[in-house]
Amino acid sequence: MRGEFTRIYSAALQGVEALEVEIEVNEGGGEMNVVIVGLPDAAVRESRDRVQTAIDNSGFKGLQGRCTVNLAPADVRKEGPSFDLPIAIGMIGNRTEGLDRRRFEEFCIVGELALNGGLRPVKGILSIAQEARARGRRALIVPKDNALEASVVAGIEVYGVASLREAFDLAAGFTSLFPQPHRTMADFAAQHVYDIDFQDVKGQSMVKRAAEVAVAGGHNMLFVGPPGTGKSMIAKRIATIMPTMTELEAVEVTKIHSICGLLTSREAFLTLRPYRAPHHTISDAGLLGGGTNPNPGEVSLAHFGLLFLDELPEFRRSTLEVLRQPLEDGKVTISRAVGTMTFPANFMLVAAMNPCPCGYFGDLKRECRCNPMTIQRYRQRISGPLLDRIDLHVEVPLVEFRDLAKADGGETSATIRQRVEAARAIQVARFQGQKNVTSNSAMTPRLMKQHCQIDKAAHDILERAMNELNFSARAHDRILKVARTLADLEAKENIDEVHLLEAINYRTLDRSLLG
């Protein structure tokens, strides 16, 4: 006996992108059974029980014979419960007489089913909406809690539904709904503001200056100082002086957080730069990303934002070493048996550490209890190659009482951010047409030769510093890049001696940290 056949379109996640999946549902005679093929994972295979129960509880006709569900392309692994809804609609379509099943092909459909026929939200909706639009689908049917996130994508209608019955009636043309209104980044930005500000930080004018320089050029930085000096407090506020995200950046950041299931119906689109501060006990996979089916790690969740590593020497050395690739390339590539995934990881690294295990080495008011060997071992937990990739090393002293007693901490984040954005605008214009280079920190050797020229007096200062402080070749390049940023903050075309001296001052911890 010839079976009934329905074709539905959905999508599978691959890294931070989505791939359209064609779902073929065929029902015929024989023993009642549901078979799902096309490289499904355990969650997809289990959907046959969820789907059939949800169909029964929604009042639709039950299974009459053998049902085969094919997920194509068959060589791409299908993960998660997001195929529940399209599979169920395909089954119901086969059992509904007089239905034009070709209507289903206009939609991309995703959603997890509850046993009562309700719908639960799924991950990665923003990526799925972009893929559906690229494939020419007229509309997207998603759980109601996912509709706001998908509405950011222009050029495709988004329908948020609450149940299997509502989704089927909409796809079959038995009812009509108003699509979710399209939302722009500005709609979400009005709802999101930082609840912290650089004005909260009292004293530490030199540290704030260093933070401004770091953000202006996209440089990584390391705070070194005793406990209670405000290292963590300042680090949390660095994101507030970073340039406002563009819509393209916001979309990319939101996609990563969506895939990790970190979005909510209240916060469906991210407009503020992310701030991530993993604990020092984090694993390599947690920081870099990984797992059997690779997922983004903290470095990707900090994409276009800030990754703060407090108590840097307490992190396992192997964990810190995996930071080298994303710091250099701005992305992470993870290879597993199921395939190779590449996740974006273009972040600003801010780290903090004590000068010694007890925290008071060099403190004029409190005595250090550590012996020289203990201090050396503690500092050498940070490898030289990693330290070379951190452009600014900043000493954070104790705050004086007179500074704490002041009514405010000085300039606001908005004021500092204006200067940062002005410096970044200079850099964007300078590197126009250069692939993957938008800030001074990303300059290649060729670009450095072109934009980091110094005169004879400045050259002599740099040569003396290199010889006396034993800087590495990479540190030499970092100094020039930071000096270029200092000149940009003053809107000067040439690097002056004062810029170079300040940049060198941000590297003087190299020798002491390496013992």
Helix or strand holding residue 82 (H, E): none
CA 102 to chain centre: 38
The residue whose two tokens read 């509309």 is 139
Residue 177 resides in a domain: no
- The amino acid occupying position 388 is D
Q: Note whether 23 and 167 are same-domain residues.
A: yes
Residue 257 resides in a domain: yes
Q: Note whether 144 and 261 are same-domain residues.
A: no
3-state secondary structure of 115: coil
Q: Note whether 299 and 422 are same-domain residues.
A: yes
Q: Note whether 421 and 287 are same-domain residues.
A: yes
Helix or strand holding residue 130 (H, E): helix 125-134
Q: Note whether 72 and 202 are same-domain residues.
A: no
Residue 400 neighbours by CB under 8 Å, 6+ apart? 203
Domain boundary among 137, 172, 207: 172
Largest CA distance in the chain: 91
What is the per-residue pLDDT across 134-191, written as a single tens digit (0 to 9) for each?
A: 999 999 999 999 999 999 999 999 999 999 999 999 999 999 999 999 988 877 877 6
CATH at 361: 3.40.50.300
What value does the mean pLDDT take over residues 247-267? 90
Is residue 122 a contact partner of residue 143, using CB atoms and an 8 Å limit? yes
Residue 368 resides in a domain: yes
Q: Is the pLDDT of residue 515 over 50?
A: no
Size (the chain), residues: 515
Closest CA to 130 of 295, 11, 300: 11
What is the per-residue pLDDT across 89-108, written as a single tens digit (0 to 9) for each?
A: 999 999 888 888 899 999 99
Tokens matching residue 157? 């209608």
| Cβ-count burial 243-281 (b if 16+ within 10 Å, e if not) | bebeeebbbbbbbbbbbbeebeeebbbbbbbbbbbbeee
pTM score, whole prediction: 0.89
Phi, psi values for residue 364, rounded to 5° = -80, -15
Can you give the residue range of the structural domain that contains 10?
4-172
Residue 193 resides in a domain: no
Cα(370)–Cα(222) distance, rounded to whole angstroms?
22
Question: How many C-beta atoms lie closer than 10 Å to residue 494's C-beta?
Answer: 11
Q: Note whether 371 and 461 are same-domain residues.
A: yes
The residue whose two tokens read 């250099």 is 328
Cα(305)–Cα(275) distance, rounded to whole angstroms?
6
Tell me what the pLDDT averaged over the chain comes to. 89
